C-alpha cells in the first residue's frame, strides 16, 4: 500500500482491505431521545476522540434534533459534521431513517415505513435486526430484502454472533453494511461506525454511497456494565410510566 497518508480498514471480508475516506457513526442518540442525555458538543467530542468524521443522530421517532444539527454545523467549521436521521419504530422492529428531511410516521409495517422514509428523502436501514423485541428479525430481512439497500451489520450493543449473522446476510444478498454505536451515553459514541470509500461532504454523498452498497460497518463492543445500567434505567422508566 502506498505511504501517502491514506488510511485503510478491513471491510466485509478479512482479505478486503480498502482505503477509507470517512468514518461516521450512523446510529447515535442524544438528549432529544427520552433515554439519553447527550448534548451535541459532548457527542462530537467523544466521536472526534475516536477518530470519527461525523455522527448521524437517530433519536427515537422524532426529528426535533434536526434544527439543533443545522445550528451546530453552521457554527462549527472544522470538518466534523452531524447528519440528520431518526430511529423509526415499525410494527415489528426499528428502522434507521438516514438523511430524512421531515418526520415519518411510526408504528407502520416495515414496507410502508421504508416507503415513507424514501419519500422523506432518506435511506431505510434496519437497525439491530436480530434484537429480541425491537428488530425486524431475519425473516423480515428475507421478506423485504429486495428493497433494502443497506443493513446495520455492526451495532456496538449487540452480541458479536448477531452482528456476524447480519453481516453474512448482507454479503449473501449483496447489500451494503452500516455500523453504529447505538449510544445512549456519550462515552459510548463511536463504538460502532460506518466506513465510506469516498468523501462525504454533502448529504447526497452519504446517501449515494449507502444506496450503492459501498459501505461497511465496524467497531468495538460496548462494555457489558454500560448495557446492564442502560437496561435497568429503561425498566425503571417503563415502570414509572405505568404508575
Identify the structural domains of the chain with CATH numbers, from first to last: 19-242 (3.20.20.140)
Task: Answer whether residue 230 shows pLDDT above 80.
Answer: no
Q: What is the mean pLDDT of residues 165-190?
A: 96
Phi/psi of residue 21, each to 5°? -100, -25
Which residues lie closer than 8 Å to 192 by C-beta, 6 or more apart? 25, 27, 154, 155, 156, 179, 180, 181, 182, 217, 218, 219, 220
- Give the helix ranges, DSSP H, for the chain: 40-49, 66-75, 110-119, 137-144, 160-173, 203-211, 224-242
Confidence of residue 28 (pLDDT cuts 50, 70, 90): very high
Can you read off the three cell numbers belonging to residue 183?
449510544
Q: What is the mean pLDDT of residues 86-103?
A: 96
pLDDT recorded at residue 196: 97
Confidence of residue 9 (pLDDT cuts 50, 70, 90): confident
Q: What is the mean pLDDT of residues 68-92?
A: 95
Task: Answer whether residue 172 shows pLDDT above 80.
Answer: yes
Lowest model confidence (mean pLDDT) among 55-69, 145-159, 223-237: 223-237
Distance from C-alpha of 147 to C-alpha of 15, rounded to nearest angstrom: 28
Can you read off the three cell numbers belonging to residue 78?
472544522
In this prediction the pTM is 0.90
For the chain, what percent of residues have pLDDT higher than 90? Answer: 77
Q: What is the DSSP letter of 134?
A: T
For the chain, what percent of residues have pLDDT higher than 70? Answer: 90
pLDDT recorded at residue 241: 46
Amino acid at each position: 500500500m502506498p505511504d501517502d497518508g491514506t488510511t485503510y480498514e478491513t471491510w466485509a471480508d478479512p482479505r478486503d482491505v480498502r482505503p477509507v475516506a470517512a468514518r461516521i457513526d450512523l446510529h447515535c442518540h442524544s438528549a432529544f431521545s427520552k433515554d439519553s442525555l447527550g448534548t451535541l458538543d459532548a457527542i462530537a467530542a467523544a466521536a472526534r476522540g475516536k477518530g470519527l468524521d461525523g455522527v448521524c443522530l437517530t433519536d427515537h421517532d422524532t426529528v426535533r434534533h434536526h434544527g439543533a444539527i443545522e445550528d451546530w454545523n453552521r457554527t462549527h467549521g472544522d470538518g466534523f459534521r452531524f447528519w440528520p436521521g431518526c430511529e423509526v419504530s415499525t410494527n415489528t422492529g426499528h428502522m434507521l431513517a438516514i438523511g430524512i428531511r421531515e418526520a415519518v410516521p411510526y408504528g407502520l409495517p416495515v414496507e410502508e415505513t421504508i416507503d415513507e422514509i424514501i419519500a422523506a428523502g432518506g435511506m431505510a436501514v434496519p437497525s439491530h435486526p436480530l434484537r429480541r423485541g425491537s428488530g425486524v428479525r431475519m425473516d423480515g430481512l428475507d421478506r423485504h430484502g429486495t428493497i433494502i439497500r443497506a443493513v446495520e451489520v455492526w451495532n456496538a450493543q449487540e452480541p458479536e454472533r448477531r452482528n456476524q449473522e447480519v453481516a453474512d446476510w448482507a454479503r449473501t444478498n449483496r447489500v451494503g453494511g452500516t455500523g453504529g454505536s447505538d449510544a445512549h451515553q456519550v462515552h459510548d459514541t463511536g463504538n460502532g461506525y460506518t466506513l465510506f470509500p469516498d468523501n462525504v461532504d454533502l448529504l447526497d454523498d452519504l446517501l449515494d454511497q449507502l444506496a450503492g452498497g459501498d459501505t461497511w460497518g465496524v467497531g468495538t463492543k460496548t462494555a457489558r456494565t454500560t448495557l446492564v445500567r442502560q437496561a435497568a434505567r429503561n425498566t425503571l422508566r417503563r415502570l414509572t410510566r405505568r404508575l
